[in-house]
Amino acid sequence: MPNSKPLAGKVVLVTGASRGIGYAAAKEAARRGAHVVAVARTVGGLEELDDEIQEMGASTTLVPLDLRDGDAIDRLGAAIFERWGALDGLVGNAGALGTLSPVPHLAPEEFENVFKLNVTANFRLLRSMDLLLRQAEAGRAVFVSSGAAHSARPFWGLYAASKAALEALVKSYAGEMQTSPVKANVFDPGVVRTAMRAKAMPGEDPETLPLPSTVAPKLIDMIAPDFAANGMRYDVKTGKLQAL
């Protein structure tokens, strides 16, 4: 009989946990028995998540935090170390779409803001959580990317560039982890019914799109101790793992 709580006793950090894919991923990790450290700016969404997870009989630590505050990420890492001494799973889901615009028309402030959340915040998470992941029996880190990183369609330059940079960062870190038990990978959820998708495609019927809860199990599979891939990219649309 398969273990119904494969993440029991594990500590899993999920960013962007107040809605969308992050919300669904946090619930899925809790369903599998993990204690979820849920990070987001929206307190109301975190409280709703906490209520749902408690109904499952699982537990959370809510962290209202702007991930563009690198010092706050460092404080979070220190708090996790003091309380648990290790981090079993890191799900870097939070991200920003930015403005869909011709590249020369992008405001420098907008460019910097998107990179702060999509790239720099994930670097700061790796910097702060690296030791904690190494202290775990089987530390796992997975970061949510997008097909835009490879298609780089016209007007999507800002978002595409940020996700391409994220994938390069994760690829390099994964290579550095080759001789450790830590595994780092990227997850491409494809088209999902989220607020970001609605902003990007305002004329699209959301009822035709899959819910975040349909992709969350695959995302949480990638932080399971028995997930042995490293430096890979999982594409939900194709169901394939490919090297970064």
> Is residue 201 situated within a structural domain?
yes
pTM of the prediction? 0.95
d(CA 158, CA 154): 10
Provide the percentage of residues in the chain whose pLDDT is more than 70.
Answer: 95
Domain that includes residue 169, residue range: 11-243
pLDDT tens by residue, 78-89: 999 999 999 999
Active site residue 159: yes
Look up the CATH number of the domain holding residue 156: 3.40.50.720
At position 43, the amino acid (one-letter code) is V
235, 217, 79, 134 alpha-carbon torsion, rounded to 10°: -60
Residue 203: the pLDDT is 73
Say what the pLDDT of residue 241 is. Answer: 97
pLDDT in tens, 149-206: 999 999 999 999 999 999 999 999 999 999 999 999 999 997 767 777 767 667 767 7
Beta strands in the chain (DSSP E): 11-15, 35-40, 60-64, 89-92, 140-144, 183-188, 232-235, 240-243
Judge whether 1 lies within some domain: no
pLDDT at 4: 79
The answer to the question of residue 2 being in a domain is: no
In degrees rounded to 5, what are phi and psi of residue 188? -110, 105
Domain count, the chain: 1
Phi, psi of 38 (to 5 degrees): -100, 120
Which of 23, 159, 173, 234 is catalytic? The answer is 159
